[in-house]
Amino acid sequence: MRRKTRPTLLYIIGTVLIFTALSLHLCKNVSRGEDIRSSPVTLTNFRHPYLAIGEVGNNRHLRIHVTTHVDQQSVSVLFPDWEALVVTSPVSSDSSDNYDCLFQNNATSPAIFAGNLVREGHTRVTFRCAIPNSVCRLRPLYNPVLTRTGSGSSYPGFGSDPNRDEMIRWSYLAYESLSTETDVIVFAKGVNNRQGVNLSPEELTCVFTNDVTNHVVKTAVTSSVQEVFRCHHPNGNDHERLFIGGEEVKVKISLELVYQKKVVPSLAYYAPMRSLGVDKFILYDNGSDDDLDKVIGKLVEEDYDVEKIFWPWPKTQEAGFSHSAASNRDTCKWMLYVDVDEFMFEPSWVNSSYPSPNMLKSLLPEPKQTSLLNPNNPSSTIGQVMIHCLEYGPSGQRSHPFKGVTQGYICRSRFEQRHKSILLLEAVDTSLVNVIHHFVLKEGYRGKRLSKDECLVNHYKYQAWSEFKTKFRRRVSAYVVDWRQEVNLKSKDRAPGLGFDPIEPKGWAQRFCEVRDTRLQVATQKWFGLGPATANKMVWQD
């Protein structure tokens, strides 16, 4: 859909959690199950820099501040699989430099550029560093420092505040914040640790801190569900005190556990709400390594409106959904949630010679019909449209189809396992709670499930083994067990017949093939093919 033809009521988000090949099995001498927790810090010792987390910029050559070794404003997060995410300021350096991470025992590892974190005009540069074996058993684990490769630097002396120098654990961290017109949303791990068991809002407060004056303001938390917490904006007087020096001042935000008087370590900062983009595709990317920026650049050149949000947080799919629903409410009315390997279509579209901007819009309830009579609740309004999801198998493919998934994967399982949703953003419950792939709705709204004749989503889930095996690295949901763990063996998330290691089973290319279904293949050939259907080239191959 191009801008000049895109329907005005339908906005689409591709919630994409794309996995990249990261270093696995680091520090094998350390038990994978070891629990490394960060100690909560008191409010008086709350000195971690708060960093802009959000939309990724495409310029990997953004200048960063590195002298002979350390950026004093950098901070690092200890991710799973013994990897450090180093977040640093873009100040000044030769963009052609290569960098290493220098650890507290002077061991080093290459610093791999991960992405630019941008929020409201503030930018941070991030690097991934594998933690050397010799560092794994050291306690405490201090922040690595960024050095120029070959500089021969030594690890600098520790600062006066040990809480500043210690690496932040991913298991206990406020990692994102978002302002809406009426409140502030904080995304945090390690506060509500069990699904369905949440701290009450009364047990928490939101804490705002001016990064220069250290002026502190607290506001009440109004909702605490999963990894999503909502709280009030600071009032007028408090807002003025927080932003002494202008709106460009950085204001830190986190959660305080009231009874313990402890503040969760944080990478988030607060900014008053500003207008957001409209009428666009939004891709949530947690580390793509398949030239996604290049593909997006081509689409933008062709007048498609595509935005990429850099989302490096492991196992936070539900939080990503919540973030997208909250951040786009003022600019979008309806939002479709699909993964990058999923395509929605209406079976009758196969009879259309050309795609139409009204095709997706036709799936939504008419404005005058949004309050369709419901015997149980006559006044309820349709706030969510749910669509059956079909799962396709490898279809005999042994490598990624060069014409794309819609052309190469044409054989699927007989029965659907899941569904996808189109959400009316004003209908979502204030808690933003969701279960993949639908949201809890406010009172007065209800969902509508379309029949398989009305609409379907093709999920190209079980692809050629070279593509599929990457799913073993880590599942994206906060509440779904990674496939390498020998628990929850009957989960629908697991691929039937697979073990716990990425070893191709015999006959994989012919699995999950019960129904040959070429409807979307035929439709896309007509719409996007160049030349005869039997040997045509697709427009995205041009």
Distances (CA, A) of 171 to 37, 122, 231, 266, 308: 7, 25, 22, 12, 25
Which one-letter amino acid corresponds to residue 264? V
pLDDT higher than threshold 60 for residue 18: no
Higher pLDDT: 254 or 363? It is 254
DSSP 358: T
Cβ neighbours around 373 below 10 Å, total: 9
Scored b (16 or more CB within 10 A) or e, 329-343 reads beebebbbbbbbbbb
The radius of gyration of the chain from alpha carbons, rounded to an integer in Å, stands at 24
β-strand pairing of 122-130 with 145-148: unpaired
At 469, the pLDDT band (50, 70, 90 cuts) reads confident
Highest-scoring range by mean pLDDT, 433-437, 449-453, 534-538: 449-453
187-224 per-position pLDDT tens digit: 999 999 998 899 999 999 999 999 888 999 999 999 99
Distances (CA, A) of 521 to 211, 344, 347, 468, 485: 54, 12, 11, 21, 36
Name every residue whose Cβ is closer than 8 Å to that of residue 446 and which is 6 or more positions away in sequence.
Answer: 374, 377, 380, 381, 382, 383, 384
pLDDT higher than threshold 70 for residue 246: no
CB 4 within 8 A of CB 111: no
pLDDT higher than threshold 80 for residue 470: no
In three-state secondary structure terms, 439 is strand
Which one-letter amino acid corresponds to residue 9? L
pLDDT higher than threshold 70 for residue 35: no
At 165, the pLDDT band (50, 70, 90 cuts) reads confident
pLDDT higher than threshold 60 for residue 88: yes
Joined tokens for residue 50: 């708060």
Nearest to 174 by CA among 53, 47, 321, 337: 53
Nearest to 136 by CA among 109, 160, 118: 109
pLDDT higher than threshold 50 for residue 26: no
What pLDDT is recorded for position 50?
30
Joined tokens for residue 173: 């961290």
Joined tokens for residue 275: 């207008």
Scored b (16 or more CB within 10 A) or e, 91-122 reads eebeeeeebbbbbbeebbbebbebbbbbbbeb
pLDDT higher than threshold 70 for residue 168: yes
What pLDDT is recorded for position 56?
34
Distance of CA 221 to the CA centre of its chain: 24
177-189 per-position pLDDT tens digit: 988 878 999 999 9
User: Which residues partner with 458 through β-bridges?
Assistant: 343, 390
CA angle 383, 461, 435 (to 5 degrees): 35
What pLDDT is recorded for position 109?
96
Cβ neighbours around 505 below 10 Å, total: 11
What pLDDT is recorded for position 55?
32
In this prediction the pTM is 0.66
477-512 per-position pLDDT tens digit: 555 555 555 555 556 656 666 766 677 888 989 999
Q: How far apart are CA 14 and CA 344, in angstroms?
A: 11
Residues found in the chain: 542
β-strand pairing of 168-169 with 75-79: parallel
What pLDDT is recorded for position 141?
92
Which one-letter amino acid corresponds to residue 324? S
At 271, the pLDDT band (50, 70, 90 cuts) reads confident
What pLDDT is recorded for position 131?
97
Joined tokens for residue 374: 């419901």
Which residue has 């290569």 as its token pair?
Answer: 98
Which one-letter amino acid corresponds to residue 184? V
CB 284 within 8 A of CB 16: yes
387-441 per-position pLDDT tens digit: 999 999 999 999 999 899 999 999 999 988 789 999 999 999 999 999 878 999 9
Joined tokens for residue 20: 């990249």
CB 313 within 8 A of CB 80: no
70-82 per-position pLDDT tens digit: 455 689 999 988 9
- What is the torsional sign of CA 464, 318, 188, 212? positive
Burial of 299 (0-12, 13-18, 19+ CB in 10 A): middle
Higher pLDDT: 254 or 19? It is 254
CB 331 within 8 A of CB 307: no
What pLDDT is recorded for position 486?
58
What pLDDT is recorded for position 370?
46
At 360, the pLDDT band (50, 70, 90 cuts) reads confident
CB 13 within 8 A of CB 335: yes
β-strand pairing of 438-439 with 381-391: unpaired
In three-state secondary structure terms, 87 is strand
Q: How far apart are CA 327 and CA 288, in angstroms?
A: 22
288-315 per-position pLDDT tens digit: 877 889 989 888 877 678 899 999 998 8
DSSP 50: P
pLDDT higher than threshold 60 for residue 103: yes
